[in-house]
Structure 1
Amino acid sequence: IHKVIDQLPFDNPDGGAWKQGWQVTYPPTRWTAENKLKIVLVPHTHCDPGWVKTFADYYQSQTKKILDNFVPKLEQDSKYKFMFSEISYFSWWWSEISTSMKDRVRSLINNHQFEISTGGWVMTDEANAHYFAMLDQLIEGHQWLNNTLGYIPQSGWAIDPFGYSSTMAYLLKRSDFKSMLIQRVHYSFKKFLAQNADLEFMWRQHWDAEASTDIFTHLMPFYSYDVPHTCGPEPAVCCQFDFRRLPGSPNRCPWHIDAKAVTDENVEERSMTILDQWKKKATLYKTNVVLVPLGDDFRYMQPDEFDLQFGNYEKIFRYLDTHPELGAQAQFGTLSDYFNTLYKETATIPGQRPPSIPSLSGDFFSYADRDDHYWTGYFTSRPLSKNLDRSLEHNLRSAEISFSLAYSEARKHSAANFPSKFFMEKLVEARRTMGLFQHHDAIAGTAKDFVMNDYGNRLLKALHDAKTIVVECSVFLLAEKKDEYSWTPDSPIFNMDEVRSSHDSLPTRPLLELTDIPKSVLLYNSLAQQRTEVVKLWTNWPYVEVRDTDGVAIHSQVEPFWSSTETTDKNKFKVSFVADVSGLGIKKYTIRKVVKGSDTRNHIVSVVILNSDTKIDINEYSDFTLDTNFLSASFSSMGLLKSVKSLSSGKTFKSQMDFIQYGTARAQDKSGAYLFLPDGDAKPLLASKPSMVKILRGPITSEVHVVTQYVQQVVRLHNSPGTDGSSVDVYNVVDIRNTANMEVGMRLHTDVDNSQQIFYSDLNGFQMQQRKYYRKLTLQGNVYPMATMAYLQDRSKRVSVLTSQSSGVANLVQGAIDVMFDRRLNQDDNRGLGQGVLDNKPTPSRFRILFESRESDVENPNPETSFPSLLGQLSSLALIHPIFVMPQSETGKEPSLGSSVSLLSESLSCELHLLNLRTLQNSDDQPELKYVPKESSLLLLRHLPSDCSFTSPSLSCTPGAGKVVLTNMFSVAGVKKSVQTSLTMNKIITEITPSSPLQVQPMEIMAVQIEFS
Structure 2
Amino acid sequence: MPPKPLYYSKGSASLRYLHTVDENVCGYKACPKPKPGYLNVHLVPHTHDDVGWLKTVDQYYYGSRSMTQKAGVQYILDSVIQALLRDPSKRFIYVETAFFWKWWREQHDSVRHQVKRLVSSGKLEFAGGAWSMNDEAGTHYQSTIDQFTWGLRKLNDTFGECGRPRAGWQIDPFGHSREMASMFAQMGYDGLLFARLDYQDKETRLMSKTAEMIWQASANLGKASELFTSVLFNHYGPPPGFCFDVLCADEPIIDDKDSPDYNVDERVSAFIKHAELQSRYYSSNNIILTMGGDFTYQDAHMWYKNMDKIIRYVNANKSNGTKLNVFYSTPACYLKALNDQDLTWPVKNDDFFPYASDSHSYWTGYFTSRPTIKRFERLGNNFLQVCKQLHALASVGPEDWKDLNRMREAMGVMQHHDAITGTEKEHVAKDYARILSDGFSECLEAIEGAFKKIIPKSSVVKEELSEIPIKPCLKLNVSECQVSEVNNSFVIFVYNPLSYPTSHYVRLPVTSTSYSVKDPNGKEQITQLVPIPEPVRTAPGRMSDATNELIFRATDLPPLGFRAYYVTKLNKEQQKEHKREVLDEAYEIGHKKFSLKFDDVTGKIKSVVSQGHKMKVKQDFYYYKGFLGNNVVFENRSSGAYIFRPNGSEAVLASSSVKQKFIKGPLVDEVHQVFSDWISQVVRVYKGENHAELEWMVGPIPIEDNIGKEVITKFSSSIQNWGVFYTDSNGRELQWRKRNYRPTWNLSNAEPIAGNYYPVTTRILIRDKDAELAVIPDRAQGGSSIKDGEIELMVHRRLLHDDSFGVGEALNETAYGKGLIARGQHYIVAGAIKTFKNISLAAQERMLIQQKVLAPWIFLAPADDICFEQWRETYKMEYSGLKKSLPPNVQILTLEQWKGTALLLRIEHILEKTDDPDLSKPVTINLKDVFAPFSIKSVRETTLGANQWLSDSKRLKWRVESNDIHRDTYSHHSSSYYYDDDDLTITLNPMQIRTFIIEMKGKFYGIKSRN
Q: Do these two structures clear the TM 0.5 threshold for a shared fold by scoring above it?
A: yes
User: Post-superposition shift, 1:584?
Assistant: 1.5
* Distance in 2 separating the partners of 1:138 and 1:842: 33
Match of 2:892 among 907, 914, 917: 914
Q: Is the 8 Å Cα contact of residues 43 and 288 (structure 2) preserved in structure 1?
A: yes
Cα shift readout 1:159-190 (whole Å, capped 9, x = no counterpart): 10000011111111111111110110001111
TM alignment of 1:259-274, pairs within 5 A: 261-263=254-256, 266-274=263-271
CA spacing shift, 1:158–1:309, aligned 2, 3 Å: farther
Are positions 1:575 and 2:563 aligned together? no
Which 10-residue stretch deviates more, 985-994 or 364-373?
Answer: 985-994
User: Post-superposition shift, 1:444?
Assistant: 0.5
Are positions 1:661 and 2:623 aligned together? yes
Paired position in structure 1 for 2:104: 94
Paired position in structure 2 for 1:633: 596
Paired position in structure 2 for 1:63: 73
* Distance in 2 separating the partners of 1:39 and 1:868: 53
Paired position in structure 2 for 1:612: none
* Distance in 1 separating the partners of 2:801 and 2:550: 45
Aligned length: 890
* Distance in 1 separating the partners of 2:117 and 2:110: 11
Cα shift readout 1:834-871 (whole Å, capped 9, x = no counterpart): 111111421121111001322389xxxxxxxxx97221
Paired position in structure 1 for 2:1004: none
Unaligned runs of 5+ in 1: 1-31, 232-237, 347-353, 408-417, 610-618, 858-866, 922-933, 953-957
Q: Is the 8 Å Cα contact of residues 135 and 421 (structure 2) preserved in structure 1?
A: yes
TM-score (norm 2): 0.84
Paired position in structure 2 for 1:5: none
* Distance in 2 separating the partners of 1:565 and 1:400: 33
Q: Is the 8 Å Cα contact of residues 712 and 732 (structure 1) preserved in structure 2?
A: yes
Are positions 1:738 and 2:702 aligned together? yes
Paired position in structure 2 for 1:412: none
* Distance in 2 separating the partners of 1:566 and 1:97: 52
Letter in 2 for 1:713: Q
Q: Is the 8 Å Cα contact of residues 33 and 324 (structure 1) preserved in structure 2?
A: no
Secondary structure of 2:528's aligned partner: strand
* Distance in 1 separating the partners of 2:913 and 2:828: 17
Secondary structure of 1:369's aligned partner: strand
* Distance in 1 separating the partners of 2:509 and 2:344: 64
Are positions 1:523 and 2:528 aligned together? no
Paired position in structure 1 for 2:474: 498
Paired position in structure 1 for 2:774: 800
Secondary structure of 1:442's aligned partner: coil
Cα shift readout 1:227-279 (whole Å, capped 9, x = no counterpart): 2xxx3xxxxxx31x2234xxxx77335xxxx5653555653443233112112
Paired position in structure 2 for 1:588: 564
Q: Is the 8 Å Cα contact of residues 492 and 892 (structure 1) preserved in structure 2?
A: no
Letter in 2 for 1:843: A
Paired position in structure 1 for 2:3: none
Paired position in structure 1 for 2:30: none
Paired position in structure 2 for 1:39: 41
Paired position in structure 2 for 1:4: none
User: Post-superposition shift, 1:605?
Assistant: 1.7
Paired position in structure 1 for 2:279: 282
* Distance in 2 separating the partners of 1:196 and 1:498: 53
Are positions 1:786 and 2:730 aligned together? no
CA spacing shift, 1:594–1:57, aligned 2, 3 Å: closer
Letter in 2 for 1:539: V
Q: Is the 8 Å Cα contact of residues 870 and 947 (structure 1) preserved in structure 2?
A: no
Match of 2:328 among 317, 327, 332: 332
* Distance in 2 separating the partners of 1:45 and 1:282: 24
Are positions 1:142 and 2:148 aligned together? no
Q: Is the 8 Å Cα contact of residues 855 and 950 (structure 1) preserved in structure 2?
A: no
CA spacing shift, 1:570–1:891, aligned 2, 3 Å: closer
CA spacing shift, 1:455–1:911, aligned 2, 3 Å: same
* Distance in 1 separating the partners of 2:422 and 2:346: 35
Paired position in structure 1 for 2:1005: none
Unaligned runs of 5+ in 2: 1-33, 64-71, 630-635, 742-747, 815-819, 951-976, 1002-1011
* Distance in 2 separating the partners of 1:475 and 1:497: 18
Letter in 1 for 2:61: Y
Match of 1:309 among 292, 306, 319: 306
Are positions 1:813 and 2:787 aligned together? yes
User: Post-superposition shift, 1:824?
Assistant: 0.8
Q: Is the 8 Å Cα contact of residues 976 and 1011 (structure 1) preserved in structure 2?
A: yes
User: Post-superposition shift, 1:641?
Assistant: 1.6
User: Post-superposition shift, 1:72?
Assistant: 1.8
User: Post-superposition shift, 1:599?
Assistant: 7.9
Letter in 1 for 2:278: K
User: Post-superposition shift, 1:220?
Assistant: 1.2
Paired position in structure 1 for 2:979: 992
Match of 2:419 among 432, 442, 445: 442
Match of 1:940 among 906, 924, 948: 906
* Distance in 2 separating the partners of 1:427 and 1:759: 39
Cα shift readout 1:805-838 (whole Å, capped 9, x = no counterpart): 0010111011110000111111111111111111
TM alignment of 1:703-742, pairs within 5 A: 703-707=670-674, 708-720=676-688, 725-739=689-703, 740-742=707-709
User: Post-superposition shift, 1:33?
Assistant: 9.0
Paired position in structure 1 for 2:20: none
TM alignment of 1:822-837, pairs within 5 A: 822-837=796-811
* Distance in 1 separating the partners of 2:493 and 2:76: 50
Secondary structure of 1:454's aligned partner: helix
CA spacing shift, 1:565–1:267, aligned 2, 3 Å: closer
Q: Is the 8 Å Cα contact of residues 220 and 912 (structure 2) preserved in structure 1?
A: no
Q: Is the 8 Å Cα contact of residues 546 and 589 (structure 1) preserved in structure 2?
A: yes
Letter in 2 for 1:508: E
Letter in 1 for 2:74: K
* Distance in 1 separating the partners of 2:486 and 2:434: 33
Paired position in structure 2 for 1:398: 386
Q: Is the 8 Å Cα contact of residues 909 and 960 (structure 1) preserved in structure 2?
A: no
Secondary structure of 1:212's aligned partner: helix
CA spacing shift, 1:285–1:588, aligned 2, 3 Å: same
* Distance in 2 separating the partners of 1:357 and 1:643: 50
Are positions 1:382 and 2:392 aligned together? no
CA spacing shift, 1:784–1:572, aligned 2, 3 Å: same
Task: Give the aligned CA root-mean-square deviation in angstroms.
Answer: 2.8
Q: Is the 8 Å Cα contact of residues 33 and 326 (structure 1) preserved in structure 2?
A: no
CA spacing shift, 1:729–1:81, aligned 2, 3 Å: same
* Distance in 2 separating the partners of 1:983 and 1:138: 9
Paired position in structure 1 for 2:128: 118
* Distance in 2 separating the partners of 1:885 and 1:826: 39
* Distance in 2 separating the partners of 1:82 and 1:189: 30
Paired position in structure 2 for 1:242: 243
Are positions 1:751 and 2:684 aligned together? no
Secondary structure of 1:120's aligned partner: coil
Q: Is the 8 Å Cα contact of residues 626 and 646 (structure 2) preserved in structure 1?
A: yes
Are positions 1:205 and 2:223 aligned together? no
Q: Is the 8 Å Cα contact of residues 916 and 939 (structure 1) preserved in structure 2?
A: yes
Paired position in structure 2 for 1:977: 938
Are positions 1:902 and 2:880 aligned together? yes
Secondary structure of 1:873's aligned partner: helix
* Distance in 2 separating the partners of 1:487 and 1:984: 41
Match of 1:216 among 228, 247, 266: 228
Match of 2:822 among 843, 850, 856: 843
Secondary structure of 2:852's aligned partner: helix
Match of 1:342 among 338, 342, 354: 338
Paired position in structure 1 for 2:744: none
* Distance in 2 separating the partners of 1:59 and 1:695: 54
Paired position in structure 2 for 1:854: 833
* Distance in 2 separating the partners of 1:96 and 1:152: 22
Are positions 1:685 and 2:646 aligned together? no
Q: Is the 8 Å Cα contact of residues 787 and 807 (structure 1) preserved in structure 2?
A: yes
User: Post-superposition shift, 1:751?
Assistant: 1.4
Which 10-residue stretch deviates more, 739-748 or 942-951?
Answer: 942-951
Cα shift readout 1:971-999 (whole Å, capped 9, x = no counterpart): 12111121110012222122123443211
Letter in 2 for 1:678: P
Match of 1:606 among 550, 562, 581: 581
Are positions 1:48 and 2:50 aligned together? yes
